[in-house]
Homo-oligomer: A and B are copies of this chain.
């Protein structure tokens, strides 16, 4: 009987923990739910931790202290991250994706829930330690990856808009230099979207010169929010010097051969360094 109960508990606990990544659950929560003793639940958690580790399903961490308990993080091992990024490289390198002007059609891949969830988990894995309070992105294409990163980090997403919208209330507008063409554009963020003193991770889909990211960094200054990191799915090799410092990207766009219509994309140096550390 105890065995059956344990099987049940493990399945239900997995589901609850995985549904709310990075949230700390006290043992008491589970005691109440299952009517089991703390000692049994401690054993359950040890078993789950071992299984998760063995099968690469993420980590289950015990957090000590007054607000202690157990939390699940959908971390991705360096090897699995490199493999997932290689898959995306392959998808983006198929012929016909290069558009006039040196753009790459990525909209389909950026809206596939399983792909963006994996990218989000990879990014979150690298930024758990910095404990961001929210993930910031600029509409539109970066939203799915930002949302999934935020989900893994257990925090909200905040979306910067291109224009001030009537349904966002009082907003801060700033001008920024758009990467493509050095045009001056405007971005807007609702005054109530974030709080002074918070910490944010900026996530976007693509970076060429970094003008949009620069704009988001400047925007955060207006709100007295610290930027703990900037991560994009794909950055271009040129220009080497971006308008913001410390950018990380999962993929690197080396160049595009306009005549053949083939993009030369590879995992970023950062991703490659993860592999080489092993």
A residues adjacent to B (C-beta < 8 A): 3, 6-8, 10-12, 14-15, 18-20, 47-48, 51-52, 54-55, 57, 99-101, 103-108, 111-114, 116-117, 139-141, 143-144, 147-148, 150-151, 156-159, 161, 166-169, 180, 190, 192-193
Known: A7-B47, A112-B156. 17 other contacts (CB 8 A): A11-B11, A14-B14, A18-B18, A19-B114, A107-B167, A107-B190, A111-B147, A112-B157, A113-B150, A113-B156, A113-B157, A117-B151, A139-B139, A139-B140, A140-B161, A141-B167, A166-B180
Taking the full assembly, how many copies of this chain does it contain? 2
Q: Which of B51, B105, B143, B151 contacts A168 (CB 8 A)?
A: B105
A18 to B16, CA, bound (A): 12
CB-CB nearest in chain B for A151 = B113
Q: Which of B7, B104, B148, B150 contacts A167 (CB 8 A)?
A: B104
A150 contact set on B, CB distance < 8 A: 111, 113
A19 contact set on B, CB distance < 8 A: 114, 117
A6 to B11, CA, bound (A): 11
A143 to B169, CA, bound (A): 20
CB-CB nearest in chain B for A8 = B51
Most-contacted residue by chain B among A107, A158, A169 (CB, 10 A): A107
Min CB distance A120 to B, Å, is 9
Min CB distance A166 to B, Å, is 5
Which 7 A-B residue pairs are closest in the complex by CB-CB distance?
Answer: A113-B151, A103-B167, A111-B157, A139-B140, A11-B51, A143-B143, A112-B156
Min CB distance A254 to B, Å, is 18
A151 contact set on B, CB distance < 8 A: 113-114, 117
Whether the Cβ atoms of A192 and B108 lie closer than 8 Å is: yes
Q: Which of B10, B100, B157 contacts A144 (CB 8 A)?
A: B157
CB-CB nearest in chain B for A12 = B55
Min CB distance A164 to B, Å, is 12
Interface CB pairs A-B, < 8 A, 18? A3-B3, A7-B7, A11-B14, A11-B51, A20-B114, A100-B166, A105-B168, A105-B169, A106-B167, A108-B192, A111-B156, A111-B157, A116-B147, A140-B161, A141-B159, A143-B144, A144-B147, A147-B147
